[in-house]
Amino acid sequence: MPVNQNLKTRSFLRRNWGGQSTIISSTRIAKSIGYGSSPIVIISSAILAITSFFYVYTVASYFKADIYFFYNRVTYNTFFDKYVINKYDDHIIIIIACVVLWLLLSAAKHRGSWTRFVFSATILTGLTVTAIVSTNLNVLLDLAALLSIPLVISFLIYDKFASRRKKFGNTCRGLLLYINYLSIIGIAIGLVSLITTILALQLSSQTYLITIITSVPNYAYQLFVLFSSFSPILIFLLIFCFPIKLLVNGLMKKIPQIGNRTNNSSVTNEKIKTSTKFVFLSLFMVLSIVIAYIPHEPAINKNNQQVGEDTARYVNMVNNLMQSADPKMFTQKLFHSIETGDRPLTLIFLSVVTKIFPLDLLQAIEFMPMILGPALVLVVYYLMRELIPNNDTAALLGSFLTAVSSQILISIYAGFYANWLALILGYLSFVFLFKFLKTPSRVNIIIYFMMVLLLLLSHIYTWTVLMIVAGIFLAVMFGLNYYPRKSTILLVLVLFSTVVIDVVRAIISHTSAEGIKSDIAIAHKVGAGTNQFAARWSNLVYVTQVYLGGQLSNFIILALAVYWVFRSKVLEKSSIFLIAFLSIGIVPLFVGDVEVQARVLYDIPFQIPAGIALAYIRKDFKGTMLLLPAGIWLIGMSIITLSNLLPSQ
C-alpha cells in the first residue's frame, strides 16, 4: 500500500474510531437514564427512586433510629428525627404522588393483573384520605406510609417469581433504571452537601451568607450518619467473612439462577494507559494532601490549635531524643528510655523531617500527614496491583478510597504517626512478599526482609498484627500448594528471623518492648481477657461509633467491603489474603476491650476489598453511575469530619 494511502487509512480509522467511542459513551449514558425503555418503565422507576428517598427518612424517624454524629471533636448520641420536607408532606408524597401513581402505572403496563394494582392503590388512597380528613387518625397516615414500600416490594417479588404466563415483563431493565435514578439522587444531594460545606467554611465570617447556606438541609450528611449506625453489623460480617462466605456459597448452590451468576465473579482484566494511571494516582495523592491540610485551614483552625491527639506526646519524645549529649545516650533513649524503645525508626524519621522543614517542632509534626497520606495512597495502589495484577481500575479505586479512608482520618485525629508509618512499611512488605511468591529472587526477598525489619522498628504493635496476617496467609499458601513450597518456607523464615531480632533487641536494651510479649502486657493492663466476652457487642459499638471520633463507622467503605465478600471467590489469592486480614478481628471481638479492638480494626485495610467491590459494581451494572455518588459522598463526609476535629473555639 502506498505511504500516502496508508496515512489516509490510519487517519480515517482514527477519526471513525474516535467518533464511534463518543457515540458508544453517549449511548451508554442515554441508556443508563432510560433511553430505549418504555415511558411507563422510566416514570415508574423514577417515582420509585424518589419514594425510596422519602421512605428512608420516614422509617428512620418513626422508629427513632439511634445515631451518632461527630461535632467539634465530640461524639454525640441521639435519635434520628428528620424529614425531607416535614412529616405530613413526606407521607402524602410517599402515598399519593409516588406509590399510588406507581401502582397505577404498573396496572397500565400489566393489564392482565390490573385489579391487584388498582385495589392496592384504592386501599392506600382511602387510608390517606381518611387520615387527612380526621385529625385524630394520623396513625393511619403513618401506617399507610410505612406499608407503601413493602407493598411495592411484594409486587416486585411476585413479578420475579411468577410463572412465565403471568410475568409482568422484564423487571431487570426497571431495576437497573431504579438503581441509576437512586444514583442520580445521590449525586445531586452529594454535590449540594459538598458545595454548601465548602462555602460555609470559606464564608464563615459573612453572617448573612452563612445563614442562607446553613438553611439548606444537608441530606447527604443526615443519611450518612443514619446508615453509619449499621457499621457494627457490617464490621461483624466482615471479620466473620470466611464462615459467612462458606454459608453463602452453600446456599447459592441450591439456587441455580443466582449461583450461576456468582460463579463468574472474578474481576475482569482492565488495563489503563500509563499516562492515565499517573494522572489519576497523582490526583488521589494530592487529595490526601488536601485532606490532611483541612484541619489547619485558617478558616477552620482560627487559633492554630493542636489537631492530633498524640502530637504533644511526640513533641516531647522528639525533644527528649534531640537533647541527647552523645551517641550512646541517643541510642539508649531510642531503644530503651523513650516508650520502652517500641518505635525508634519513627522517632528518627520525625527528627529528620522536623530538621528539614523551617517550622517549630509542633507544627512540623502536625504537618506530617501531608507526607504520610500520599505515601499510604501510593503503597495501597502497588499492593492492589500485586493482589489483582490484571485490573488497573480496581487498584486506582482502592488508592482513591485510601485517601478518604478511616485509616487516614483516624491518624490525623489521633496523631497516630508511628502507626501510620508502620502501615506504609507493612503494606509495602506485602508488595514484595507477593513479588517473591510470583518471581522468587534474591532482590525481592532481601527487600522484603528490610521492609519487615523497618516495620518492627517503626511500631512494634503494628508489626505484631501484620506479621500474624502474613503468617496465616503463608500457612494457607503452603497448605494449598499455590506456590513452590521452598519460596513459602523462605518467607516464613524471614518472619521468624524478625521475631528473633526483636527478642535479642529487647534483651540487649533491657526493655519490655518485645513484640508479642508487650502486646499481651498491654492487653492485661487495659483489662482484656475472657471477662470482656459479655461486653463484646457494646465494645464493638463504642469502638465504631464513639472511640477515635467514630471514624471506623464509614458505612460506604464497609458496605462495599461486604459486597466484595459476597462476590469474591474464596480460593483466589487476593481473597485468601484479605480474608486472613479481616479475620484477625475475631479474637479481639471476644476477648479484647475497646482499645484492643480499635488497634486491630485500625490496621485492617477495609478500603482494599471496597476498591475491588467498586470494580465488581462497575462490571455488574455496566458503568460508573454508582461510583460517582460514593466518591462525592466520601469526599464531602471527610471534609465535614476534618472541619470538626477541633473543640469549640
What digits encode the pLDDT tens for the residues 385-397?
999 988 899 999 9
Residue 523 confidence class, pLDDT cut points 50, 70, 90: low
Cα gap 194→574, rounded to integer Å: 34
Residue 620 confidence class, pLDDT cut points 50, 70, 90: confident
Helix (H) or strand (E) holding 71: strand 66-71
Top pLDDT among 111 and 244 is at 244
The answer to whether 528 and 596 are in contact (CB under 8 A) is yes
Residue 531 confidence class, pLDDT cut points 50, 70, 90: confident
Residue 344 has pLDDT above 80, yes or no: yes
Distances (CA, A) of 471 to 166, 474, 558: 56, 5, 25
What residues have CB less than 8 Å from 383, skipping those under 6 apart? 427, 428, 430, 431, 608
pLDDT in tens, 76-119: 999 999 999 998 889 888 887 777 777 777 666 555 444 555 55
Residue 432 confidence class, pLDDT cut points 50, 70, 90: very high
Which of 286-300, 340-354, 514-528 bottoms out in mean pLDDT, i.e. has the lowest? 514-528
Q: Is the pTM of this model over 0.75?
A: yes
pLDDT in tens, 15-24: 443 444 444 4
Which of 87-91, 159-163, 306-310, 637-641 bottoms out in mean pLDDT, i.e. has the lowest? 159-163
CA terminus-to-terminus distance, the chain: 76
Residue 410 confidence class, pLDDT cut points 50, 70, 90: very high
Cα gap 494→580, rounded to integer Å: 19
pLDDT at position 507: 76
Percentage above 70 pLDDT, the chain: 78
Q: For the residues 505-520, what does the mean pLDDT come to? A: 62
Top pLDDT among 240 and 44 is at 240
Distances (CA, A) of 602 to 149, 220, 635: 37, 25, 20
DSSP classification of residue 99:
I
pLDDT at position 380: 97
Q: For the residues 58-73, what does the mean pLDDT come to? A: 92
pLDDT, averaged across the chain: 82
pLDDT at position 16: 41
For the chain, the structural domain boundaries read 39-226, 230-262+270-642
pLDDT in tens, 263-273: 445 666 778 88
Top pLDDT among 141 and 529 is at 141
Residue 161 confidence class, pLDDT cut points 50, 70, 90: low
Cα gap 497→501, rounded to integer Å: 6
Burial 50-89 (b: 16+ CB within 10 A, else e): bbbbbbbbbebbeeebebbbbeeeebeeeebebbbeebee
Q: For the residues 183-204, what does the mean pLDDT come to? A: 87
Give the three cell numbers for residue 279: 494522572
**C-alpha closest to that of 234 among 515, 554, 558:** 558
